Amino acid sequence: MEPEPYDLVITNGVCVTATDVAALDVAVKDEKIVLLAPSGSLGSAKAKRMLDAEGGYVMPGGIDCHVHLQEPSMFGKGSSADSYETGTRSAIAGGNTTIVTFAPQQKHLDSVLQALETTHQLAKDNCYCDYGFHLLVSNPCAKALSEFKQLASHEGVTSLKMLRDDEILSVLLTARQNRILTMIHAENGDVLNWLTDQLEAAKLFAPKYHSNSRPPVLESEATNRAIALSSLIANTPILLVHVSDPEAALRIRQAQTAGQPIFAETCPQYLFLTRDDLDKPGFEGAKCVCSPPPRNKEDQLAIWRGLKNGTFTVLSSDHCPFRFDDAETGKKTCVTHDHPVGRFRYIPNGLPGIETRLPLALSANKLALTKFVEVTSTNAAKLYGLYPQKGSIIPGVSDADLVVFYPEGRLGKTEVSNSMLHHDCDYTPYEGRVVDNWPRYTILRGNVVWDRDGGGIVGPKGYGKFVKRGQSSLAGVWDTLDENGAFDLEAL
C-alpha cells in the first residue's frame, strides 16, 4: 500500500530557524510540518503541491504581536484605516502568518470580557491569517479585574496592555496572579501634556513639534518608573513596547542584567525613520507621527545594537494605520482654517507597517539570519504563549506556517510604494525605500495564501482562525514568580 501523498513539499530551500541555518526540504501533511530532509531528497516525493524554493530562505512565518485593527476612536477623532479583512490581507502579503491585535475596553465599560467578545465578532470569518488578542485595559475596575482569571484559563488571552499610570499597580498584581503578561507604553503623560501646552502657547502647531512634545527623557524616565513598579510588585514580568530611546534601552538592559523579568519591543519606525521625517512641507510630516516619535540616526544605530544583543525580545510593527488624506477619520481631522498645518496634539498617532516589517528588516542586512527569525517570529511565539505550535518548524509539532523568500539577488533592488501594498491606507511612510527581498510565498497551515508571482493573495478570507494562547514559555518570564512566590505586603 502506497503512503498517502504529502499536502505540500518545499524543495531546495535554505531553512532558517532561531538557532540553525541548513539546506533542507520540508514536507507538510494535515496542516503540520511532518518531515525535514536533506536538500533535494524530496524532489521526487508524491505531493499534492511542490514548491521549488530555488535556494531561497524558508523561515517560520512572521508573527507580529503589536497590531491595531478596526479599533473604535479612543483618542480624538481618528479611527483605524484597516479592518480585520484588509489588515490580515496585508499581513500575509508581508510574510506574516499570525498576528495578535488589541481588544480595546472602552472607558465606560466595566467588563474586559465584553470588549473581547466585541472584537471576536469583528475578526470572525474575516481574517487571512491566524490571530489572537491582547486586552487593552482602560477601566480596571473591580469587575474587570475579576475577569482576568477567565481571560487566561478559558479565553486564551494571556497578555494585556495598560494605558494609565495611576491604575497600573492593581493591574500588575492581578495579572501576576493569573500569569498574564503586562505590556506598558512608557512615556510621562503629565510632562508631555505640559510641553504640548507650552508649544501651543508659542503657536508651534506643525507636525514636527510632535517630536518636541515627547523628547527622549519622557521615555527613559517612564521606563525607569515602570521597571521600579515591576520590582515593587515582587518582580512581576512586564514588556515595554515600542522602545525608541537608547537611554530607555540602557535602563532595560541594566534591569535584565540584574535578573529582573523586563522585556522589550522595538519597531521598524525606530530603525528606518527619524524626526526629520516629521519636518516636511505643510502637513506632510503627519504621515510619520507616532508615539514615541522617531528619533535620530545615532539612536537608530543604538536600537539595532539592542536587537543584536538581546535587549529587545521582539521586533513588531505597531501597525496602527490612519489614512492621510481623510478629514473625517484620518490624519487630517486636525486640519482647520485656523490651523492649515494642523495641530500636532490632535494628529492621530500611528503608522501602517505590517506588510513592510519583514522585507525592510531582512533587506537591511544588519541582523544574523537566526537573529532575524528570533525577533520576528520565534521569540514572539514564546513570549505570547504560541510556541512551539507557531514560530518554529519542528516536525510533528509545529503548524506549517512558513515564509519563503526569493533567492538572493533574484528580486533585485525594489522600491517600496504604496501601490504595491495590500492595506487600506493611502500611504506608506517607507515610500521609495529600497529593499532587495520580499516574501515570495506565505504558507499558513500548509496552504499557500500568498504567491507573489502567481496571483498575489491566493488564500481565502476567513481561512485565518483564532488561536488560544497559553502562558509565556520564554525563559525568564515567570521564573521570578516561582522563585518569589505571592506578593507580600509585609515583605516591603
Walk along the chain (492 residues) and give the pLDDT tens digit of each residue. 678 999 999 999 999 999 999 999 999 999 999 999 999 999 999 999 999 999 999 999 999 999 999 998 755 678 899 999 999 999 999 999 999 999 999 999 999 999 999 999 999 999 999 999 999 999 999 999 999 999 999 999 999 998 766 689 999 999 999 999 999 999 999 999 999 999 999 999 999 999 999 999 999 999 999 999 999 999 999 999 999 999 999 999 999 999 999 999 999 999 999 999 999 999 999 999 999 999 999 999 999 999 999 999 999 999 999 999 999 999 999 999 999 999 999 999 999 999 999 999 999 999 999 999 999 999 999 999 999 999 999 999 999 999 999 999 999 999 999 999 999 999 999 999 999 999 999 999 999 999 999 999 999 999 999 999 999 999 999 987 888 888 999 988
Query: What is d(CA 325, CA 330) in angstroms, rounded to the nearest whole number?
Result: 7
Name every residue whose Cβ is closer than 8 Å to that of residue 90 and which is 6 or more positions away in sequence: 82, 319, 352, 354, 355, 421, 422, 423
DSSP-derived secondary structure letter, 41: T
Query: What is d(CA 317, CA 464) in angstroms, rounded to the nearest whole number?
Result: 19
Q: What pLDDT, on the 0 to 100 scale, is given for residue 392?
A: 98
Q: What pLDDT, on the 0 to 100 scale, is given for residue 2?
A: 73
Sign of the alpha-carbon torsion through 190, 194, 195, 200: positive
| Contact call for residues 294 and 288 (beta carbons, < 8 A) | yes
CB atoms within 10 A of CB 254: 14
What would the grid cell of residue 344 be?
500636532
Q: What pLDDT, on the 0 to 100 scale, is given for residue 483?
A: 83
Q: What pLDDT, on the 0 to 100 scale, is given for residue 317?
A: 98
Pick from 133, 248, 134, 233: which is nearest to 186 by CA?
248
Radius of gyration of the chain from Cα atoms?
22
Query: What is d(CA 52, CA 28) in angstroms, rounded to the nearest whole number?
Result: 14
* H or E segment and range at residue 197: helix 189-201
Sign of the alpha-carbon torsion through 65, 67, 70, 75: positive
* H or E segment and range at residue 27: strand 21-29
| pLDDT digit string, tens, across residues 359-397 | 999 999 999 999 999 999 999 999 999 999 999 999 999
CB atoms within 10 A of CB 408: 12
DSSP-derived secondary structure letter, 210: H
* H or E segment and range at residue 483: helix 479-484
| pLDDT digit string, tens, across residues 83-115 | 999 999 999 999 999 999 999 999 999 999 999
Pick from 11, 86, 84: which is nearest to 42 by CA?
11
Q: What pLDDT, on the 0 to 100 scale, is given for residue 73?
A: 74
25: helix, strand or coil: strand
Pick from 399, 412, 397: which is nearest to 449 by CA?
399
Query: What is d(CA 312, CA 100) in angstroms, rounded to the nearest whole number?
Result: 18
Query: What is d(CA 307, CA 244) in angstroms, rounded to the nearest whole number?
Result: 12
List, in sequence order, every beta strand (DSSP E) within 384-470.
402-405, 414-415, 434-435, 439-444, 447-451, 456-457
Burial (Cβ within 10 Å: 0-12, 13-18, ≥19) of residue 51: buried
